[in-house]
């Protein structure tokens, strides 16, 4: 689909998805593959379980801070972007886990 053929909503969807993708790639380069292949120094939990814990933390931060319907709440966009990123990582980790079971 050409960019000119996209509606405003569709262009924004592409923009936000690209932001999440860039965030994940930058963090993966910066921190290595730590979310999907943890070093297991202290925790022996699976990558899926570790990502679920991080999601709990992010959601708790949003719940504690509160967020108004108009987006003017205390929660900043970075927290929402992080949450989205962890959801993508969860999906990747789940696929890796299924692949490894085969």
Residue the block writes with tokens 């053929």: 5
Angle between helices 77-101 and 47-65 (to 10 degrees): 160
Give the predicted TM-score (pTM) of the model.
0.82
Nearest to 35 by CA among 86, 83, 79: 86
Nearest to 71 by CA among 79, 11, 93: 79
pLDDT, tens digit (0-9, with 9 covering 90-100), for 3-59: 679 999 999 999 999 999 999 999 999 999 999 998 889 999 999 999 999 999 989
The whole-number pLDDT of residue 9 equals: 97
The whole-number pLDDT of residue 52 equals: 97
CB 51 within 8 A of CB 34: no
Residue 73 — pLDDT band, cuts 50, 70, 90?
low
Residue 75 — pLDDT band, cuts 50, 70, 90?
low
């Amino acid at each position: 689909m050409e960019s000119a053929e996209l509606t405003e909503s569709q262009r924004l969807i592409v923009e936000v998805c690209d932001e999440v993708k860039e965030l994940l790639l930058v963090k993966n380069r910066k921190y290595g593959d730590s979310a999907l292949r943890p070093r297991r120094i202290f925790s022996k939990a699976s990558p899926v379980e570790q990502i679920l814990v991080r999601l709990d933390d992010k959601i708790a931060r949003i719940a504690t801070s509160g967020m108004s319907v108009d987006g003017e709440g205390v929660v900043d966009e970075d927290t929402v972007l992080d949450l989205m990123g962890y959801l993508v990582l969860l999906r990747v980790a789940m696929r890796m886990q299924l692949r490894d079971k085969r």
